[in-house]
Amino acid sequence: MRTRRMHNADGQLTGFEIGNALITRLGVLRILERIPGVVITKRPRWWRSWEDDDFVHFTLNGHTFLAIEPFGDNDCYWIVAEDTFDIPEIDFVRREFDARRAWG
């Protein structure tokens, strides 16, 4: 699956974007659950999964991340570090998504 790195105005890496044509919110969760070291701290509720833009929260090596569908109805998902920039964990998670084919 293809991802695109995201940077803030200062050029710092903040996260990455995934097109959602071939993956759902549940698919994002499934990939995150398979990444070594990832601890899911918020899961989407299947009966209300459309309500929260930030549908998955997780930690990796002490850093907090969010999986977001911007504006609640978009053509992409964002995986972003919540409180820090330019950490190697962002690219580690991105490479895991790049290496997988997702459907669902």
104 within domain boundaries:
no
104, pLDDT greater than 50: no
93 exposed, middle or buried (CB, 10 Å; 0-12, 13-18, 19+)?
A: buried
CB neighbours of residue 5 within 10 Å? 12
Domain that holds residue 14: 3-98
Residue 31 lies in a domain: yes
Secondary structure of residue 33 in the 3-state scheme: helix
> What is residue 52's predicted lDDT score, i.e. its pLDDT?
78
Contact 17, 6 (CB under 8 A): yes
- 48 occurs within a structural domain: yes
Q: Report the C-alpha dihedral over residues 79, 82, 87, 93, rounded to 10 degrees.
A: -30
Is 103 part of a structural domain of the chain?
no
Query: Is the separation of the CB atoms in 1 and 23 below 8 Å?
Result: yes
The predicted-structure confidence for 14-67, as pLDDT tens digits, reads as follows 999 998 888 888 899 999 999 999 999 998 876 555 667 899 999 999 999 999
Q: How many domains does the chain have?
A: 1
User: In the prediction, which pLDDT does 24 show?
Assistant: 87
Using 50, 70 and 90 to split pLDDT, how confident is the model at 96? very high
61-88 tens-digit pLDDT: 999 999 999 877 788 999 999 988 999 9
Q: Determine the pLDDT at residue 51.
A: 67
